[in-house]
Amino acid sequence: MNHLLARSIGALALLAAVVATVLVVPVVPAAAAPHQTTITNFDAAGQQVTRYDTEGNAVDAHDGDLAFFDGVYYLYGTSYDCGYQLQISGTPFCGFKSYSSTDLVHWTDRGLLFNASTALWQSRCAPPRFGCYRPHVVYNSATNRYVLWINGYDNNSGYHVFTSTTPVGPFTEVAEPRLAVQGSGPGFNNGDMDLFVDNDGTGYLAYTDIRGGHRQVVEQLNASYTSGTGQHTVVGGQGTEAPSLFRRGNTYYHVSGNTCPYCAARTEFRTASNPLTTWSGPRTINSNSCNGQPAFVATIPTLSGTAYLYGADLWHAGKANQALANYFWTPLTFARNGAVEPFSCTASATLDLATGAPGSQHPIPDLDRHSGVTGFRTHCDIASGWSRLQSFVPSRTGRLDAASLTVFQEGASHDLVIDLVTVDDGLRPTGTLSTTVVPRTAVGWSPRQIVVRTRGSVSAGVRYALLARSAATTGCYGFAYNDAAPYPGGGSSYRSGTGNWTPEVNRSHKFMTAVTTSSAYATAVSASSSYTGGGWRLDAINDGLITSTSASMGWSSNDQLQTDHTESLQFDLGDSKPVSSVMLFPRADPGNQGQGFPVDVRIDVSPNGTTWTAVAQVADLPTPTSGTPLRLGFSPVQARYVRLVGTRLRNTNPNDPTYRLQFAEVGIY
């Protein structure tokens, strides 16, 4: 099989949700060629649908911005996957994410803009603070820097500013900006904002003056776009937030909504002949933003000219889990006099992109059965009283090397259990082939794939199923589903308590299976150094246990502990195999999450164990905050040997100030 997993056991093993992905192949600007693309907002029944990235995980970037740099589209937003909840003490701040696309539909997860897991950022953004939001990025051609602004409530200005040499970071914080309108200490000073760069390169900040009654302000920025100049105008509009500023012809537009948290707000616009002059009165163009809140207006080059793509966050109204929030995007239209025309809540929008290229999902080698990634909604009820089942019929006989369900959690009190079972024609389980316990810490609040792996055989034409259950007495696990039978050969069923199983014939959970007839497991592992004791040992790096436990912590280096140095792991796959990624599973034992995870890491491959070629290299990796793995992807190559080299190690544990390289598990694909 093309999926290569460094494993040495035959029992079912959990791979877990691929929450963090680093594609180490540089993003190349898309070719300047026309491409028609269709953005889907709602299904045929008018229901919201979840957008999934190229790895099959829900796009988790909210209340942010859409930008276009060098032929590539970038989506920025606040992450909610770690379980952040507004003003709920004990919930952490998750940070800011970015995604890239060449067609506005297929989005590649580019990871976090900076490491927000530190004590400093948690003190700035996690409850009891009011949070941090609204990441916006612009490019400064004079400084050759991308400039990021975010909103927070821990300082005078209400904002933090960063710069980077790439649109996806890592971003480095610079001095706090100074604005014409700001407070004199932490608190509700300024809120939602937008960045705008005019045709002449002048930068502007449109921001919400909270102390002035949530009125709107536009201020000119300095030459580096990192602070205000004091030149400003009060747009007006008390009781408003979520501004967007853009130019069409010689007219400037200011779009905003009314103030309310995670709600359905109106969308209104104002116009002016100059950003710093007097603005017109507001005119409403949608009364509830299609049951969302205004987020951005992005300028998109199309064959017919510039499209002004409006975006709204469709918040999970009245719910704790805003990671489930969806999106509404549509191009604005304009009357002859330049006024923005009211927009309707269309199910989809089609654009003829002047610059772009068709995207695609990341290929899954040996993919057999699946339900796709479109048209899915979410529901949460898997707990002590409810179980859910998705059936499938393999098209070929072989080893079921991978099977996944897309799930999320909402404060579940117990672990998730996924059984591989046989079922009858009534979609009732008839036998259990294997059981996987998924630690609740490995399940995020945003819908993501949970993948289970086994060397067990399956037979073509025989019906099997993935059964999800939990003993959770508080909270729940959720799932993604589509009632239009995207996988017509399957079907799902559910059971309440210990009652009978009820079939749902046209329902498909979001799932996939991969069946192979080949063997592709590592036969030997060696290390530059290794510590043995307390559950640490070399063979634990591929024992199939992806979380650190007292019996199997994983592997740890044990050399030159007082100084930063290089450590490595080498895997022998037995013979030449196609390899395209390496998965790193960090420590996640309580109190030691992410300890020993490398800061800089390189992946080498070799046909003979002597001649090596570097295929991936990443620097400045943040400290993981959970056991979710990091995937390092690269162009497929043939290799027998794979070497993982930690070229810069981490020293962050005050109770053990040493430099080690540590993993709970490593997977090779």
Give the CATH fold of the 367-516 domain.
Jelly Rolls (2.60.120)
Whether pLDDT at 538 is above 80: yes
| Gap between the Cα atoms of 58 and 54, Å rounded | 9
Model confidence band, residue 33 (pLDDT cutoffs 50, 70, 90): low
pLDDT value, residue 400:
85
pLDDT value, residue 31:
41
CB-based contacts of 180: which residues, under 8 Å, 6+ apart? Answer: 217, 219, 228, 230, 231, 232
What's the mean pLDDT in 116-125? 95
pLDDT value, residue 23:
39
pLDDT value, residue 545:
67
Residue 598: HSE in the Cβ half-sphere, 13 Å Cα cutoff = 25
Q: pLDDT digits over 91-110, tens only?
A: 999 999 999 999 999 999 99
Model confidence band, residue 592 (pLDDT cutoffs 50, 70, 90): confident
Same fold across 367-516 and 524-668: yes
Measured at the CA of 293, the angle between CA 292 and CA 294, to 5 degrees, comes to: 125
Q: Where are the domains of the chain?
A: 61-356, 367-516, 524-668
Give the sign of the dihedral formed by CA 117, CA 122, CA 125, CA 126.
positive
Q: pLDDT digits over 653-666, tens only?
A: 666 779 999 998 88
Q: Which range among 19-33, 175-189, 478-492 shows the weakest confidence by mean pLDDT?
A: 19-33
Whether pLDDT at 11 is above 50: no
What's the mean pLDDT in 269-276? 98
What's the mean pLDDT in 495-504? 91
| Gap between the Cα atoms of 129 and 365, Å rounded | 45
Backbone angles phi, psi at 542, to 5 degrees: -140, 45
Q: Which range among 46-55, 321-330, 373-382, 450-459 shows the weakest confidence by mean pLDDT?
A: 450-459
pLDDT value, residue 521:
58
What's the mean pLDDT in 61-66? 97
Q: Which residue has the higher pLDDT, 546 or 274?
A: 274
Whether pLDDT at 156 is above 50: yes
What's the mean pLDDT in 338-366? 92
In sequence order, the β-bridge partners of residue 81 are: none
pLDDT value, residue 383:
96
pLDDT value, residue 8:
27
pLDDT value, residue 316:
87
What's the mean pLDDT in 58-78? 97
What's the whole-number average pLDDT of the chain? 90
Segment holding 452, helix H or strand E: strand 448-453
| Gap between the Cα atoms of 131 and 79, Å rounded | 12
Q: Which CATH superfamily groups domain 61-356?
A: Glycosyl hydrolase domain; family 43 (2.115.10.20)
Q: pLDDT digits over 224-267, tens only?
A: 999 999 999 999 889 999 999 999 999 999 999 999 989 999 99
pLDDT value, residue 580:
82
Contact in structure between 642 and 582 (CB atoms under 8 Å) = yes
Q: Is 286 strand, coil or helix?
A: strand
What's the mean pLDDT in 20-40? 56
Q: Which range among 107-111, 293-297, 316-320, 567-571 shows the weakest confidence by mean pLDDT?
A: 316-320
Q: pLDDT digits over 195-229, tens only?
A: 999 999 999 999 999 999 999 999 999 999 999 99
pLDDT value, residue 126:
97
Q: pLDDT digits over 373-385, tens only?
A: 999 999 999 999 8
Q: Please classify residue 345 by burial: count the beta carbons closer than 10 Å to its beta carbon, then call 0-12 exposed, 13-18 middle and 19+ buried.
A: middle
Q: Which residue has the higher pLDDT, 294 or 8?
A: 294
pLDDT value, residue 544:
61
Q: Which residue has the higher pLDDT, 490 or 21?
A: 490
Whether pLDDT at 1 is above 90: no
pLDDT value, residue 623:
84
Q: Is 323 strand, coil or helix?
A: helix
| Gap between the Cα atoms of 434 and 430, Å rounded | 13
- Which of 406-415, 512-521, 613-622, 624-633 is predicted most confidently? 406-415
* Share of residues in the chain with pLDDT > 70 (%): 92
pLDDT value, residue 457:
79
CATH number of this structure's domain 524-668: 2.60.120.260
User: Is this prediction's pTM over 0.85?
Assistant: no
Q: Which range among 34-48, 170-184, 191-205 shows the weakest confidence by mean pLDDT?
A: 34-48
Contact in structure between 487 and 373 (CB atoms under 8 Å) = no
DSSP assignments along 379-446, one per residue: EEEEBTTEEEEEEE--SS-EEEEEEEEEEEEES-SS-EEEEEEEE-TTS-EEEEEEEEEE-GGG--SS
Q: Which residue has the higher pLDDT, 4 or 531?
A: 531
At 619, which amino acid appears?
A
Q: Which residue has the tokens 């770690």?
A: 82
Backbone angles phi, psi at 348, to 5 degrees: -155, 165
pLDDT value, residue 520:
47
Whether pLDDT at 394 is above 50: yes
Contact in structure between 351 and 450 (CB atoms under 8 Å) = no
Q: Which range among 136-140, 347-351, 579-583 shows the weakest confidence by mean pLDDT?
A: 579-583
Buried-state track 494-533, b at ≥16 Cβ within 10 A, e below 16: bbeeeeebebbeebbbbbbbbbbeeebbbeebebbbbbee
CB-based contacts of 104: which residues, under 8 Å, 6+ apart? Answer: 37, 39, 73, 300, 329, 351, 353, 356
pLDDT value, residue 30:
39
Q: Which range among 118-132, 287-301, 449-463 shows the weakest confidence by mean pLDDT?
A: 449-463
What's the mean pLDDT in 178-199? 97
